[in-house]
Amino acid sequence: MSFGGHHRRNNGGGGFYNNNNNHHHHHNNNNNNYNGGGGGGYYHPYNNNNNNNNFYYDNRRNNERERGWSRERKSPTPPPPPPLPPQRNVGRDNRRGDKMLEDLVIKADALFSDDCFVESLELYEQALRLRPSHLHSLFFMGRALSSLEQYDRSLAYLDLVIEQKPDHIPALTAKGYALCMLGHHEQALMWIDRALELKPGHSRTLGRKGAVLEAMGRDEDAIWFYNRALAENSRDIYTLVAKGKLLLNMGKYEQAIVECMDVVLGYYPEHVVSLAQKAIAMLHLGRAAEGVQLLGNYIRLPLSNKQAKLTRVKGVLLYSMGLHLEALDYFNYSLSIEPDNYATLINKGLCFYVLKEYSQGIEVFDQAISARPENDIAHQYRRKCVERTEERELRMRRDNRQDRFEQKSTHDDVYGDVLNNNKWNY
């Protein structure tokens, strides 16, 4: 019997190997030995305490040789075999891979929580290169793509999750929501109902069903499901935000603030979406200046991804107050974070339109159309900018001096508003 290529047992009686040292290389004969019975022994190539020679002779053998026949000579003890080449430790490699995967997912989840969806996608993709079937990474790839409004790609990853785990309720729910955003409302309800069959009281799924019903124009039914979801989990932030948005669209501004925005802000005082929603509700209640002050408490430099929404909404409030240049500054802040956000591009274009900067307005509306070609507002105001430009050229040919005077008066009015309201200039 051999062990690791280093130990040979002589042909004695039965015995056992007692390894008091877990390493494969032994330098002390007392630590690694065969305890044999019935004449058994051991040979250790690095410490041979046998004082006999490797070749055993006795007088009888010499006498036999003299008689012309020879006893078979004992073979010399062979040298120890060379050490085995180092073998790959599969278990250690797996542990190292698991650690890399874990680190990637932790970083990706943190980015996802900060609304850094593009950056989180890159890390989830790296995790999937290490383990293509990693369920968590597949699911959050789907969620991140959905947050980026890439619903078709989102569905592909969610389907991979459902293939592995057909009862994955969050994936079933997310798939229903993605289908809803693509306009497939009936299919969306089917997948969400499948999730509710597995867990009827799942608050997020109940809330998403409300969102689908809202998209179908069934506002009261949507409110009912939102309330049912909140009865299951009063701190379901997604449902509180969705209900607040619907109440805003229904013109129930005070109710939206009391039942939704203030509830969320009670849990998370810096919740960006709820701050933005509350500021918009204040705008509709004639409290735009109060809304500007609210947002100003939470907009900090350098701007984070989440604050893009706050700067955009603050720009809307300033715009409604007639502070078009200040509004333009905040739209630019927002676009520095989200350069392709069509809503912010439209708001910026409207500022240029009001300021009679038609050529710049056309340029911005072109960007908005590129981001979302089906948007009617961008097309409408681009045409108006073109018409005003043509009218201006005609008027300038007729009376260039008068046109410059009218333009200067408009800017003077705006600058006067800025000076009178510089307390809002953060």
Domain ranges of the chain: 2-54, 239-300, 322-426
Find all residues with CB under 8 Å of 168, minimum gap 6, and list them. Answer: 135, 139, 161, 162
- Amino acid 19: pLDDT: 41
Higher pLDDT, 296 or 97: 296
DSSP letter for 234, please: T
- Report how far apart, in Å, the C-alpha atoms of 60 and of each of 64, 67, 75 are: 6, 11, 18
Task: Give the mean model confidence (pLDDT) for residues 126-139.
Answer: 95
- Amino acid 11: pLDDT: 40
pLDDT at 77 over 70: no
Amino acid at site 426:
Y
pLDDT at 307 over 70: yes
Write the DSSP assignment of 381-404 as a string of letters.
HHHHHHHHHHHHHHHHHHHHHHHH
When pLDDT is cut at 50, 70 and 90, the band that residue 118 belongs to is: very high
- Amino acid 68: pLDDT: 45
pLDDT at 18 over 90: no
pLDDT at 147 over 50: yes
β-sheet bridge partners, residue 16 = 35
Question: Which helix (H) or strand (E) is 106 found in, with range?
Answer: helix 90-113
pLDDT at 69 over 90: no
Long-range Cβ contacts of 375-379 (<8 Å, 24+ apart): 375/342, 375/346, 377/346, 378/342, 378/345, 378/346, 378/349
pLDDT at 127 over 50: yes
Q: Of 59-73, 173-187, 355-369, give the lowest mean pLDDT range.
A: 59-73
pLDDT at 363 over 50: yes
* 25-58 pLDDT, tens digit each: 444 444 443 333 333 333 333 344 444 333 333 4
pLDDT at 353 over 90: yes
When pLDDT is cut at 50, 70 and 90, the band that residue 80 belongs to is: low
- Amino acid 53: pLDDT: 39
- Amino acid 40: pLDDT: 39
Place of tokens 């229903």: 176
- Amino acid 3: pLDDT: 39
Sheet holding 2-3, edge to edge: 2-3, 7-9, 42-43
Task: Give the mean model confidence (pLDDT) for residues 82-104.
Answer: 64
Place of tokens 């430099």: 301
- Amino acid 65: pLDDT: 42
pLDDT at 191 over 60: yes
Structural tokens at position 316: 């809307």
- Cα(30)–Cα(133) distance, integer angstroms: 50
- Amino acid 48: pLDDT: 41
- Cα(416)–Cα(418) distance, integer angstroms: 5
Which range, 26-35, 55-64, 97-106, 190-199, is most confident?
190-199
- Amino acid 82: pLDDT: 56
Across the chain, mean pLDDT equals: 79
Helix ranges (H only) for 285-375 are 288-296, 307-320, 324-337, 342-354, 358-371
pTM for this predicted structure:
0.65
Place of tokens 């950056």: 119
- Amino acid 344: pLDDT: 92
- Cα(78)–Cα(87) distance, integer angstroms: 25
* 386-415 pLDDT, tens digit each: 999 998 888 887 775 555 544 444 544 433
- Amino acid 396: pLDDT: 80
- Cα(205)–Cα(176) distance, integer angstroms: 9
Q: Of 117-131, 337-351, 408-422, give the lowest mean pLDDT range.
A: 408-422
pLDDT at 325 over 90: yes
- Amino acid 106: pLDDT: 95
Task: Give the mean model confidence (pLDDT) for residues 270-278.
Answer: 94
* 243-270 pLDDT, tens digit each: 999 999 999 999 999 999 999 999 999 9
Supply the CATH classification number for the domain 322-426: 1.25.40.10
pLDDT at 156 over 80: yes
pLDDT at 383 over 60: yes
Provide, rounded to the nearest whole percent, the portion of the chain with pLDDT above 90. Answer: 61
Amino acid at site 408:
K
